[in-house]
Amino acid sequence: MKIAVFSSKSYDKESFESHNNGVQFKFYEANLNLDTVKLAAGFDGICAFVNDHLDADVLEKLVANGIKMVALRCAGFNNVDLAAADRLGLKIYRVPAYSPQAVAEHALALILTLNRKTHKAFNRVREGNFSLERLSGFDIYNKTVGVVGTGKIGGIFAKMMKGIGCEVIAYDAYPNDELKKAGIEYVSFEKLLNKSDIISLHCPLTPETNHLINAKSFAQMNDGVMLINTSRGALIDTKDAIEALKSGRLGYLGIDVYEQEEQLFFRDLSESIIADDMITRLISFPNVLITAHQGFFTNEALSQIAVTTIKNINDFAAGVENNNEVVLQN
């Protein structure tokens, strides 16, 4: 199989080549879109990431170029038009779980950093400033943590926070009996918003969850609440989050994802003018911490992504049934 890898970085090439067993990869830094889809000509399949465009127009051009399968090297597939893929007979595969611990641990890192301001302390000490002024935080112990979405990542995160000594409540359309046995209470979404000191989002992006956190949601939260998002950027209405930060309703915001991240994340823009007014406004708040889709980024996760993606490609080539295929639900 000859595979064109889009949105690739040096670490993608290194991990894929170290685990390869027969696939011919060609790595492109460019995102997949209507302008770059021509790069797929001559390949059997493509490998795509979270910010690649896989809408109907792109999928049709991929098929016209001879592409037979798409291997997503991520868990989410909200950027894929599954109806168009089904109509075109194009097989879509994903990596459903690579290191849920990595993302859950990153969510905890955002909480601890925002709370205890270790990022600010680091910069102060480097400048010879050993003052503790304005670095105070709060005990996370005994606080109420609301977990929205208790799949693999959300479940691990919930157990972590329980282990720290928090009261953990959760909202999910499909409650997890194991988590219930661990002492985690499932409540309504409204109750979670109203009761939580810290809210962490771990649900997929769907039409139903798009802007799940909006002005109405913020109005139901306690003043000074901490909100963490390591899932998908569009779960939060950024404009409403900025207003909640300005009013003080939102006391802390930690995000590893951003709804307009496609033009920003995974790039070095340090010498560029950033035209996105909302991200620059968020950066200006002292109680906002932004990382650039870093949650998955561990050695273990990169290895698992490569191994699973290569297996998906080889299974397709051999005609072997694979549970990682994304099938349109009727």
- Supply the residues annotated as catalytic: 232, 261, 293
Question: What strands, in cross-sheet order, belong to the sheet with 2-5?
Answer: 24-27, 2-5, 45-48, 69-72, 91-93
DSSP code at position 22: S
Report the alpha-carbon distance of residue 87 to residue 104 in Å, rounded.
36
Residue 3's contacts (CB-CB under 8 Å, 6 or more residues apart) are 23, 24, 25, 26, 43, 44, 45, 46, 47, 71, 313
Residue 152's contacts (CB-CB under 8 Å, 6 or more residues apart) are 97, 100
Report the alpha-carbon distance of residue 323 to residue 330 in Å, rounded.
18
Q: What are phi and psi of 328, to 5 degrees?
A: -65, 125
